[in-house]
Amino acid sequence: MATIIHFTKMHGAGNDYIYVNTLLYNIPDVKAASMTWSAYHTGIGSDGLVLIGKPTTDDADFSMHIYNADGSEAMMCGNASRCIGKYLYEKKITDKTTIRLETLSGIKVLNLHVNDGIVESVTVDMLEPQLENEKQLAIEGGSMTEGEIKTEDRTFAGTFVSMGNPHFVIFGEELSTEEIKKYGRLLEYNSIFPERCNIEFANKCQDGSIRMRVWERGSGITMACGTGACATAVAAAVTKRAGRKSRIVMDGGALDIEWSEKDNHIYMTGPAEFVFEGDINL
């Protein structure tokens, strides 16, 4: 007999995921469910599957586990964390406007900006960025600022930033969608990244904002990436292209990023939206 699972589809700046409350529902094979449900033509369609559940520590209120469309588990997603804040509050699972969310890359604090019972935006404390990580960047010292990586027929200069998950941010000429598909995949699987990597292609705009397109590890081109926006802002500051505050404009919308001088944490502010709900057989 089939098990019916209730799901909610949400997006943050176009980065869309399927959300399931595992306080109510159990999904035995999460990887298979993520791959099947994420398919746009034969499933619900999404960038992946997000599970909301109990934390493993008293220091957090809830937990998040996120699976990409290819079934691989991600450490963190900024857009998904904002959606979880809106989900929990507007579905009256919590009345807190400050929520501590346990992720594989640490506990993230969500500050909900509420107006008349509606969460209009969420600011997430994304903790400190790492510019050195030998587990995620296989070179001595584990750091790279505008360093070069060769692909089959092209060399890219970029900056490595870890937001818990690895990112390689490339500033330069604007690439076509087909070029991003080609070189994003080649760079994601480059041997210099032992855990694979998220790849950001960015350009500084005349109005001071930064235009960025992203190839997400495990999902391909997506409309937005929260950790990618944070990594891009950090890379822009490190390479003197921007200050400590940046607006990152992606295909699905814009996020405001602040790299605080006070605590060295990254604060990401942006929207979260419900798309639709439904039931699916497991």
Asked if residue 103 and residue 48 are part of one domain, the reply reads yes
State yes or no: is 230 an active-site residue.
Answer: no
pTM for this structure? 0.93
Asked if residue 75 and residue 23 are part of one domain, the reply reads yes
Is residue 103, in this structure, part of any structural domain at all?
Answer: yes
Is residue 134, in this structure, part of any structural domain at all?
Answer: no
- Please determine, for residue 124, whether its predicted confidence score (pLDDT) is greater than 80: yes
Asked if residue 275 and residue 235 are part of one domain, the reply reads no
State yes or no: is 83 an active-site residue.
Answer: no
Is residue 142, in this structure, part of any structural domain at all?
Answer: no
Query: Coil, strand or helix: which one is 262?
Result: coil
Do the beta carbons of residue 210 and residue 246 sit within 8 Å?
A: yes
Tokens of 264: 């060295």
Per annotation, catalytic residue among 77, 83, 197, 230: 77
For residue 1, the model assigns a pLDDT of 61
CB atoms under 10 Å from CB of 250, counted, come to 27
Where are the strands (E) in the chain, listed by range? Answer: 4-12, 15-21, 48-53, 62-68, 73-74, 98-103, 106-115, 118-125, 147-150, 155-162, 166-171, 198-204, 210-216, 220-222, 245-250, 253-259, 266-270, 273-281
- Please determine, for residue 158, whether its predicted confidence score (pLDDT) is greater than 90: yes
d(CA 29, CA 48): 14
Q: What is the pLDDT of residues 36-81, one digit of tens each?
A: 999 999 999 999 999 999 999 999 999 999 999 999 999 999 999 9
Q: What is the pLDDT of residues 132-149, one digit of tens each?
A: 999 999 999 999 999 999
Asked if residue 171 and residue 249 are part of one domain, the reply reads yes
Is residue 24, in this structure, part of any structural domain at all?
Answer: yes
For residue 173, the model assigns a pLDDT of 78
Asked if residue 114 and residue 17 are part of one domain, the reply reads yes
Asked if residue 171 and residue 102 are part of one domain, the reply reads no
Asked if residue 53 and residue 165 are part of one domain, the reply reads no
Range of the domain at 88: 4-127+270-281
Asked if residue 160 and residue 67 are part of one domain, the reply reads no
pLDDT confidence band for 12 (50 / 70 / 90): very high
Per annotation, catalytic residue among 83, 197, 205, 225: 225
For residue 196, the model assigns a pLDDT of 97
For residue 109, the model assigns a pLDDT of 98
Please name the residue that has the structure tokens 């400050």. Answer: 98
CATH assignment at residue 51: 3.10.310.10
- Please determine, for residue 228, whether its predicted confidence score (pLDDT) is greater than 80: yes
Q: Which own/partner pairs from 27-33 qualify as long-range (CB within 8 Å, at least 24 positions apart)?
A: 27/51, 27/282, 28/282, 30/65, 30/67, 31/67, 31/71, 31/72, 31/73, 32/71, 33/282
Is residue 53, in this structure, part of any structural domain at all?
Answer: yes
Asked if residue 78 and residue 12 are part of one domain, the reply reads yes
Do the beta carbons of residue 74 and residue 85 sit within 8 Å?
A: no
Where does residue 127 fall: left (phi above 0), alpha (psi -120 to 50 degrees), or beta otherwise? left
In total, how many domains does the chain have?
A: 2
Asked if residue 195 and residue 115 are part of one domain, the reply reads no
Is residue 138, in this structure, part of any structural domain at all?
Answer: no
Is residue 136, in this structure, part of any structural domain at all?
Answer: no
Asked if residue 12 and residue 118 are part of one domain, the reply reads yes
For residue 41, the model assigns a pLDDT of 95
Mean pLDDT along residues 238-257: 97
Asked if residue 111 and residue 170 are part of one domain, the reply reads no
Do the beta carbons of residue 80 and residue 17 sit within 8 Å?
A: yes
Is residue 140, in this structure, part of any structural domain at all?
Answer: no
Q: Residue 89, CB half-sphere, CA atoms under 13 Å: how many? A: 27
Mean pLDDT along residues 206-222: 96
Where does residue 55 fall: left (phi above 0), alpha (psi -120 to 50 degrees), or beta otherwise? beta
d(CA 156, CA 187): 9
Name the residue with higher pLDDT: 186 or 282: 186
